[in-house]
Structure 1
Amino acid sequence: MTDPSCAVAHGEAEVKTETRTLVAVFDTPVAGYLLKYGADLGYRTVLHDPKDGELPELDGTTDVVVTDHHRDELGEVLRDVLVHPVRWVGVMGNPRHPGPHVEALRQLGVPPAQIDRVHRPIGLNIGSRTPPEIAIATLAGLLADRNDRPGGFF
């Protein structure tokens, strides 16, 4: 009997994937790599920059990654995302500093339960320093979460 995972790795079995969407918010270098690598992972990828218009359609198959936590419109963008049943939403940022999104959402009257849906930090802790590394760590974290795994080595 062949291990199904080995068969997939050797190209001997069809990979069945569910529909999923990755929305990168703000046009940043990390967003570019998220979209590039996300497409390779089977995501339908979408860049959303608020200056360019309304949010795309968001549903329970959507993962939203905010790639810049220094933007004035951070709170409004997250508030607008949180009214949708997205599967996952997170904001990039250094975990040693408080997330500015929390206060921004509070000031907009967003309920604490909704604020708690926003993940920060995001991605696996692999010491990422460059935009491609940050994108890989973020996508690995999304895959681990989607597959109900803790991430990291076992």
Structure 2
Amino acid sequence: MRDIAEELRAWCADGQDFALATVAAVSGSAPRGPGASLAVDAHGTAVGSVSGGCVEAAVHALCLEALASGEGGLHRFGHSDEDAFAVGLTCGGVLDVLITPVRVHDPVRPVLGSALDHVTRGRRIALARVVSGPPGQLGRALAVRPDGSYDGGLGGGAALDRAAAARVRDLLLAGRTGTAELGSAGGLCGEPLTLLVESAAEPPRLLVYGAVDFAAALARIGAFLGHRVTVCDARPVFATPARFPDAHEVVVDWPHRHLAAEHAAGRLDARTAVCVLTHDAKFDVPLLTLALRLPVGYVGAMGSRRTHAERVDRLRAEGVTPQGLARLRSPIGLDLGGSTPEETALSIAAEFTAVRHSRPATPLTGGAYPLHGPASPAPGTLVP
């Protein structure tokens, strides 16, 4: 929903009725994952996509029906010899799509409006909607903020709303979109209830330490991939905005001190990538000693294999555990065979992207893993 938030907010401001179709679950290979959304207004205008084109026409028709009847529902689109050409889902996957009418007086409208306001202002918010459970609660929604406060309700009483908000907040703080299971009475009690939780969090962080030419290329590709990029170096002559125009911020500070401050401020999470390009033990060792103890998603360090071996000895001497050392990606990046700053940046970005999505970073041709969703890695792959 985040990619169409501006359009939806404008529709709400204009008083337009519309229906929102959202991918609630995916099985097998499918073009888009949970949270992908298509919205259709009363005139038939559509924004967004739930499948990259595979089932758009069928979903569009169901949205218009929901607008006319005021009733939404969960619809499954699968692949078989009979229906492959009917709906166009020829990739072999199965999509569950939640369709919700969002008319002026529908109870979900103010909740969605609250979520859209946060998203378009760059604030963290999670929208949770009932995708299975008691019929009267289907499509009911909560908009949950990072502090656990929320707007809306799931139609099952205050205890259910409080329990759901706590579960949804956990997903929001992790920056995850997915489903949450609980009972309709709250906790595990009552009829089973499934929530689709769409988290709109700040962009993932890319922290680049070392104001070198490789850092400029990495900042450029990181920004292109949607990360918030910080370049940090203790040397003011090198750490200047003019040298790193693609970075969102350039900081002059000792790297380990900067990372400690980011952690203390709560700005690091499992999506954060820490890339150490300094090539200098007095910077590398204290920085990596700290980074390998923090709950960040990726820690990589540039250097030759000989440099890596010497660095590992120093880190052991600083008390880094074997578990911590196992998290270190060094030499940094995938083996793409390139050597220019741009090629090196591509190999680094490819590696932290693979780690973030729990993928093995192997060629798709002849691969044994599904194209979409987490893989089950073999020993020795990139996935931690």
TM range (shorter): 0.7 to 0.9
Q: CA deviation at 1:50?
A: 4.1
Does 70-79 or 41-50 show the bigger shift?
Answer: 70-79
Supply the distance in 2 between the matched residues of 1:110 and 1:124 (Cα, whole angstroms): 24
- What residue number does 1:66 align with? 276
Supply the distance in 1 between the matched residues of 2:295 and 2:217 (Cα, whole angstroms): 25
**2:104 is the counterpart of 1:104:** no
- Residue by residue over 1:58-110, the C-alpha shift from the partner in whole angstroms, topping out at 9 and shown as x without a partner, is 33221101113344321111112233211110112234x35132122122222
**2:235 is the counterpart of 1:44:** no
- What residue number does 1:33 align with? 217
Corresponding pairs, count: 146
Choose 1 or 2 for highest CA Rg.
2
Contact 2:281 2:311 in 1 (8 A): no
The alignment partner of 1:134 has SS state of: helix
Consecutive unaligned residues of structure 2, counting only runs of 5 or more, are 1-29, 33-47, 51-176, 178-199, 236-251, 263-267, 365-384
Q: 1:75 aligns with which of 273, 285, 289?
A: 285
Contact 2:274 2:299 in 1 (8 A): yes
Contact 1:23 1:45 in 2 (8 A): yes
- What residue number does 1:141 align with? 351
Contact 1:23 1:63 in 2 (8 A): yes
Supply the distance in 1 between the matched residues of 2:344 and 2:354 (Cα, whole angstroms): 15
The alignment partner of 2:299 has SS state of: strand
TM-score of the aligned structures, taking structure 1 as reference length:
0.80
RMSD: 2.6
Supply the distance in 1 between the matched residues of 2:321 and 2:335 (Cα, whole angstroms): 29
The alignment partner of 2:337 has SS state of: coil
Contact 1:124 1:152 in 2 (8 A): no
Q: CA deviation at 1:127?
A: 0.7
Q: Which has the higher helix share?
A: 1
Supply the distance in 1 between the matched residues of 2:335 and 2:206 (Cα, whole angstroms): 20
Supply the distance in 2 between the matched residues of 1:114 and 1:148 (Cα, whole angstroms): 18
Q: CA deviation at 1:137?
A: 0.9
Supply the distance in 2 between the matched residues of 1:47 and 1:113 (Cα, whole angstroms): 27
- Residue by residue over 1:88-138, the C-alpha shift from the partner in whole angstroms, topping out at 9 and shown as x without a partner, is 10112234x351321221222222322222111232211111111100111
- Residue by residue over 1:39-73, the C-alpha shift from the partner in whole angstroms, topping out at 9 and shown as x without a partner, is 11011111122453232423322110111334432
Consecutive unaligned residues of structure 1, counting only runs of 5 or more, are 6-11
For residues 112 and 50 of structure 1, do their structure 2 counterparts lie closer, same or farther at Cα, with a shift above 3 Å needed? farther
Supply the distance in 2 between the matched residues of 1:146 and 1:131 (Cα, whole angstroms): 22
Supply the distance in 2 between the matched residues of 1:49 and 1:98 (Cα, whole angstroms): 20
- What residue number does 1:55 align with? 258
Supply the distance in 1 between the matched residues of 2:352 and 2:231 (Cα, whole angstroms): 17
Supply the distance in 1 between the matched residues of 2:333 and 2:321 (Cα, whole angstroms): 25
The alignment partner of 1:4 has SS state of: coil
For residues 50 and 117 of structure 1, do their structure 2 counterparts lie closer, same or farther at Cα, with a shift above 3 Å needed? farther
TM-score of the aligned structures, taking structure 2 as reference length:
0.35
Identical-residue share of aligned pairs (%) = 32
Q: 1:150 aligns with which of 336, 356, 360?
A: 360
